[in-house]
Amino acid sequence: MVLVRMWIAHEAGRELMGPLPAGVEVAVLPRPDAPLPGDPAEVEFWVPPFLSSGDVVGLAERMSNLKVVQLITAGADAWVGRLREGVTLCDARGVHDSHTAEWVVTAILASLRRFDHFARAQAAHRWAYAEVTPTDELGGKRVLIVGAGSIGAAVAARLAPFEVDLAYVARTARDGVHGVDELPRLLPEADVVVLLVPLTPQTRGLVDAAFLSAMADGALLVNAARGPVADTAALTKELASGRISAALDVTDPEPLPAGHPLWDLPNVLITPHVAGSVRGLLPRAYRLVGRQLRRYTAGDPLDNQVHDGY
């Protein structure tokens, strides 16, 4: 007897979820535009595709029996406020800590040690020793992490061996964490500013002209959050001046158009939203999915619930 019909986004997820409760029927929908594996009106627990194209959120409107949407992304901005009452939305907090933190540390080191410049020189078969040396270094830097969640903690743990001076900012101040209202005072003191906040109405455009002008000369901005957290026009103007530099895994718009001026700035390192795209993602993500499904069928509260306040 089928008790819970569940759709997941990856065939491998069947095994990666671990043992499932009796009565759970699993089908796979890899993309919102793929042939549906059944009647969406019967789906009760849904794991949507990761960073999928198409109207994946709109498909939820056809799932009249839907009770749970379990994301395998850390960000839930595309979903908040778009599900009907009675549907529980859960994000993948904790799943992306390790690999996103790796990207942040890599981006900081690559930018400060000018690996981007040397890669371009290699492509041109040019020995570029005298062009940018001596480079900067991470040791002793003052790093401001804007977004003091689990990914922020993972970044801090990986930066600690570099003997940096760490400070944290969150929406509200707490022990050891500054409030966002303190940014005007903190930004001029930071050598590296790391963005890890979720995209919400409060964080959209947080990095505006005033934010950028408050950053210290020569500082590095690292965006591993969402593109719209930064005002692209203001960011491009400030970076074009050469006063600060940036490492961006996310942009607004995304993908970044081929003719956009950010591509050609020598003080900007851009990766195509790859911080979360690693081989270990699916095992970690579906371990969470399996735990959540077992909690749901047992009647226990779900972890990582996302609310409108986000």
**pLDDT tens for each residue of 129-151:** 999 999 999 999 999 999 999 99
pLDDT tens digits, one per residue of 210-253: 999 999 999 999 999 999 999 999 999 999 999 999 999 999 99
Half-sphere exposure of 129 toward its Cβ, with a 13 Å CA cutoff? 1
**% of the chain beyond a pLDDT of 90:** 90
- Say which of 10, 96, 99, 273 is annotated catalytic: 273
Residues 37-54, mean pLDDT to the nearest whole number: 86
For position 33, what pLDDT does the model report? 85
- Say which of 5, 226, 238, 284 is annotated catalytic: 226
pLDDT tens digits, one per residue of 165-220: 999 999 989 999 999 999 999 999 999 999 999 999 999 999 999 999 999 999 99
- Say which of 204, 254, 260, 287 is annotated catalytic: 254
Q: In degrees to the nearest 10, what's the CA dihedral of 148, 177, 102, 291? A: -40
For position 309, what pLDDT does the model report? 52
273 is catalytic: yes
For position 223, what pLDDT does the model report? 98
For position 49, what pLDDT does the model report? 86
Res. 161: pLDDT tops 90: yes
With respect to CATH, is domain 4-95+279-298 assigned 3.40.50.720? yes
Res. 54: pLDDT tops 80: no
Q: Are strands 88-90 and 68-70 parallel, antiparallel or unpaired?
A: parallel
Res. 53: pLDDT tops 60: no
For residues 169 and 167, what is the distance between their CA atoms, to the nearest angstrom?
7
Residues 102-117, mean pLDDT to the nearest whole number: 98
Class of domain 97-270: alpha beta
Domain pair 4-95+279-298 / 97-270, same fold: yes
226 is catalytic: yes
Res. 108: pLDDT tops 90: yes
For position 308, what pLDDT does the model report? 67
Res. 28: pLDDT tops 70: yes
Task: Work out the pLDDT band at 297, boundaries 50, 70, 90.
Answer: very high
For position 307, what pLDDT does the model report? 83
Instruction: Walk across the sheet containing 245-248 and list its strands.
Output: 178-179, 165-170, 142-146, 192-195, 220-223, 245-248, 268-270
137 is catalytic: no
pLDDT tens digits, one per residue of 56-70: 888 999 999 999 999
Task: Work out the pLDDT band at 45, boundaries 50, 70, 90.
Answer: very high
For position 302, what pLDDT does the model report? 98
For residues 126 and 124, what is the distance between their CA atoms, to the nearest angstrom?
5
For position 65, what pLDDT does the model report? 97
What value does the mean pLDDT of the chain take?
95
| Domain ranges for the chain | 4-95+279-298, 97-270
Question: Looking at beta carbons, which pairs linking 9-14 to residues 24 or more positions away fall under 8 Å?
Answer: 9/47, 9/48, 9/49, 9/50, 9/52, 9/72, 10/282, 10/286, 12/282, 12/286, 13/47, 13/282, 13/285, 13/286, 13/289
How many residues in the chain? Answer: 310
Residues 41-45, mean pLDDT to the nearest whole number: 97
For position 122, what pLDDT does the model report? 98
pLDDT: is 53 or 231 the higher one? 231
Task: Work out the pLDDT band at 263, boundaries 50, 70, 90.
Answer: very high
For position 50, what pLDDT does the model report? 72
For position 153, what pLDDT does the model report? 96
